[in-house]
Structure 1
């Protein structure tokens, strides 16, 4: 497999919800440079997260023009309690593990978080998770070899 195809596979894997956590290790395991794998994975996940945020905002605007208010927009239950307790940083940092980054961004927006805050914390979370996963993969491969 050529490096370009392998990097493309990492890009696609990092763009798929819930699979985003598992895209980095195979790329590094197949011999790609950890830095480039991390950059490709971060770029893919960030682009799809930003597209999700913009798409959600457009969908909400369209819905409000057609129907008025959005049912259940105030949020109740566990999601609202978690949001009230941990805010956007908590949702963004847990996003890849518990709900997927894209769902966490949509949840934060639907619970009233400012778009700029959601974008910033989503990018911070993506960067932290990418660095942690690259480091863990390199360390794990170092132990195995």
Structure 2
């Protein structure tokens, strides 16, 4: 497979919510550096979500006529946000809600964008490295 196509596939896979976890092992199998490729793909889309959150918030309020987080499901989400904050949402992002939903939820509930960006980068870096180490260790055990 062409290197450019392989890199693009991993970048695109890292941009899909919940699938972002599953691009590290194929990246390693293709001989790519997943710490860079998967991390950059996921972080770039997360930053785009942070940048577009103001427009999304305005759209939501126009469409629903109320602020985000004011319904019953929003109240549960707001409680989780108040309990765990931006670090908790960022660290659980790849597994439970998808990183982009965690990012949007944090920003839309009033977290500072700089803090969300910092925790997003930290979470993406941590999970990418952990998955890469786990994949390499697993392959080492199997071979």
Fold in common (TM above 0.5): yes
The 3 A distance-change label for structure 1 pair 112 and 70 is farther
Aligned equivalent of 2:44: 47
More deviation, 76-85/95-104? 76-85
Aligned partners of 1:14 and 1:20 also within 8 Å? yes
- Give the alignment's Cα RMSD to 1 decimal: 1.9
Task: Establish whether residue 37 from structure 1 lines up as the match of residue 34 from structure 2.
Answer: yes
Aligned equivalents of 1:120 and 1:70: distance in 2?
Answer: 31
**Greater displacement, 43-52 / 78-87:** 78-87
Match among 70, 73, 82 for residue 68 of structure 2:
73
Say if 1:17 and 1:102, in contact at 8 Å, map to a contact too: yes
Distance 1:83 1:63 in 2: 19
Structure 1 length-normalised TM = 0.86
Equivalent residue for 2:131?
Answer: 133
Gaps of 5+ in 2: none
The alpha-carbon distance between structure 1 residues 63 and 103, as it changes in their structure 2 partners (threshold 3 A), is: closer
CA displacement 1:104-137 (0-9 Å, x = unmatched): 0111112111111111111111110111011111
Relative to structure 1, the CA distance from residue 42 to residue 57 in structure 2 (aligned partners, 3 Å threshold; closer, same or farther) is: same
SS of the residue aligned with 2:94?
Answer: helix
1:97 matched residue in structure 2: 95
Q: How many residues align?
A: 139
Aligned to 1:14: 14
Structure 2 equivalent of residue 5 of structure 1: 5
2:67 & 2:60 partners in 1: Cα distance?
13
| Long gaps (5+) in structure 1 | none
Q: Does 1:56 pair with 2:53?
A: yes
CA distance in 1, matches of 2:107, 2:99: 12
* Equivalent residue, structure 1, for 2:24: 24
Offset of residue 62 of structure 1: 6.7
